[in-house]
Amino acid sequence: MFNRTFSVLRKETREILRDPYTLSIALLLPLVMLFLFAYGVNTDVRNIQLVVLDFDQSAASRDYIQAFFSSGYFDSAGTVRNYEQAGEMLDSDTADAILVIPPGFARALSNGEQAEVQTLLDGSYTPSAQVAESYIEAINAAYNGKIIAQYIESQSGQSPDQYISLQVQSRVLYNPGLKSVNAIVPGLFGVILMALPPLLSALAIVREKENGSIQQVFVSPIRPLELVVGKLIPYTVIAFLEMIIVFAGGTLWFGVPFRGSLVVFLAASILYVLCTVGIGLLISTLTRSQVTAGLLAIVLTVMPAMLFSGFIFPIHTMPAPMQVYANAFPTRYFIDISRALALKGQGFSDVAPAMGFMAAYAAGLILLSALRFTKRIG
């Protein structure tokens, strides 16, 4: 029995060593996954982009504003002069929150009266909005204690007749109830379409390499670009049908609102599935076995789609190098488009830059895949 087992063991070891490329991938992938999760999984919400609308323009209002920026949780995204400008910054994702300080803010505090400020929160990303709201309440409570102490000191130790209260009135836009499903489902449109289509298309060419039929392609008059496009179209159609099914389920079954243009969304979906299928085709030109292609497809598509797209964790909370990586990945842009159309009701002009990036990305993948075949044939 031992001899037979040893024979099988020796044979299997030889088979593994015959493909050092696959062995290297298998050994390096755990390290890659470690770094991806370590840098991508960050539950601390920081660098919240805060815009200030200060109608009071007083020393007290500036001191209150500074309490936010010195907390380490908020970054200044600028100042605006009116509500219209504030709304535009929320619509364009330039700001995560707006802090509105009313006129008479300083006078109310100096007289020991109640003062009220307002915050406008972008609810299209539910976890960030919830955390930002809790940060605002904590900072306001701390500042409230500070002004009470200052008032008591200014009154020679006498407590105020009524409790001075600095109130914050929070208003959540785009997703007033902060329903997590309204933020998750539009994000899932991008994640799901980055999970299945690349895996299917990654096996398209490498399967022919394994069974030897690719040699017939190499000696045929077909051009590399024609081959890539021919392989691309069927999987693109399948992926687009998957998108329609997922979209219908998200809006009809889960009741996620969709306030934008359906035509724009479908056009963006076509560009996105070209990106996802194109990634799989490029992987298939770089690998020799279906196992290796499948592993690379999972690590290079599913994990980044989950961790570096803004689906789970806000991109601005990631380390700078990871933000660069996220900005070079198409899922980030499609999720932005999905949420902008579904929750904010934005139009084509608002999402056109992201669609342009995906179009260029897809074209680049197709050309790179064709170039790989050109080199192989040459």
Query: Is 353 inside any structural domain?
Result: yes
Shared domain check, 101 and 237: no
Shared domain check, 110 and 205: no
Domain final residue pick, 173, 189, 214:
173
Shared domain check, 266 and 310: yes
What residues contact residue 186 under an 8 Å CB cut-off, 6+ apart? Answer: 250, 256, 335, 338, 339, 342, 343
pLDDT per position in the chain (378 positions), as tens?
A: 667 666 766 766 776 677 676 667 667 766 766 666 666 556 667 788 999 999 999 999 999 999 999 998 999 999 999 999 998 999 888 899 999 999 999 888 877 778 889 999 999 888 888 888 999 999 998 888 887 777 666 665 555 555 557 889 999 999 988 888 998 999 999 999 998 888 888 887 787 777 776 667 666 777 878 888 888 899 999 999 999 999 999 999 999 999 999 999 999 999 999 999 999 999 988 887 888 888 888 888 888 888 888 888 778 777 788 888 889 899 999 999 999 999 999 999 999 999 999 999 999 999 998 888 765 544
In degrees, rounded to 5, the angle at the alpha carbon of residue 257 between the alpha carbons of residues 252 and 262 is: 85
Best CA proximity match to 306, nearest among 298, 316, 294, 296: 298
What residues make up the domain containing 344?
A: 180-377
Shared domain check, 151 and 111: yes
Radius of gyration, alpha carbons of the chain: 27
Domain count within the chain:
2
Q: What is the pLDDT of residue 294?
A: 83
Shared domain check, 192 and 114: no
Q: What is the pLDDT of residue 148?
A: 72
Query: Is 285 inside any structural domain?
Result: yes
CATH number (domain holding residue 156): 3.40.1710.10
Shared domain check, 184 and 168: no
Query: Is 25 inside any structural domain?
Result: no
Shared domain check, 198 and 59: no
Shared domain check, 192 and 146: no
Shared domain check, 315 and 346: yes
Backbone angles phi, psi at 77, to 5 degrees: -105, 10
Shared domain check, 336 and 247: yes
What residues contact residue 107 under an 8 Å CB cut-off, 6+ apart? Answer: none
Q: What is the pLDDT of residue 209?
A: 76
Query: Is 93 inside any structural domain?
Result: yes
Q: What is the pLDDT of residue 377?
A: 47
Q: What is the pLDDT of residue 339?
A: 94
The CA distance from 18 to 22, in Å, is 9
Domain final residue pick, 146, 173, 200:
173
Handedness of CA 175, 311, 48, 336 (dihedral sign): negative
Domain final residue pick, 118, 147, 173:
173
Shared domain check, 307 and 229: yes
Shared domain check, 204 and 152: no
Query: Is 3 inside any structural domain?
Result: no
Query: Is 9 inside any structural domain?
Result: no
